[in-house]
Amino acid sequence: MVSHRRQEAQEAIRRWDRVFEALSAAPRRHLVDELAAVPDGGSVSLPDAAVPPAGAQSEPEELRIDLHHRHLPMLADAGYIEWQREPFQAVRGPRFDEVAIVIDALFENAGAVPEHLLPACPTLEQKYEREQSEC
């Protein structure tokens, strides 16, 4: 019983680590944000859905290569997304909720996010501004 519980705890820790690793890069955060905004079963076009805020990525072709070789495989291996090359698009994967809950929690608490972090996430910045104007 204890061994089984310990294994479950270790698996949960690995999953949390994977969630935060997935959200540690701007293109992956932006893609998760974009996918969260589409209805279940909907897709987003790539690379557009993963374009981070202005200044975070220098060349469109560089982003396309990074998506193809690094970001998309990492998200897909974790089960957060599924993607294809033609047409270049992504959909929610079977474990998408594991990363979406973190983004949702940030949006629910947009007013508490330190202002200097907002420019990295346009959607969060908009929610922050709406909350501030309602006060």
Number of structural domains the chain divides into: 1
CA distance 8 to 97: 19
What is the pLDDT confidence band of residue 8, given thresholds at 50, 70 and 90?
very high
Structural domain range at position 51: 2-134
pLDDT tens by residue, 16-75: 999 999 999 989 999 999 999 999 999 999 999 998 766 555 688 888 999 999 999 999
Find out whether 72 and 63 touch, Cβ atoms under 8 Å: no
pTM of this structure: 0.84
CA distance 104 to 33: 9
Residue with tokens 């972090």: 117
Q: Across residues 84-103, what is the average pLDDT?
A: 96
pLDDT at 100: 96
Rg, C-alpha atoms of the chain: 16
Per the prediction, the chain carries an average pLDDT of 89
| Most confident region among 15-19, 53-57, 103-107, 113-117 by mean pLDDT | 15-19
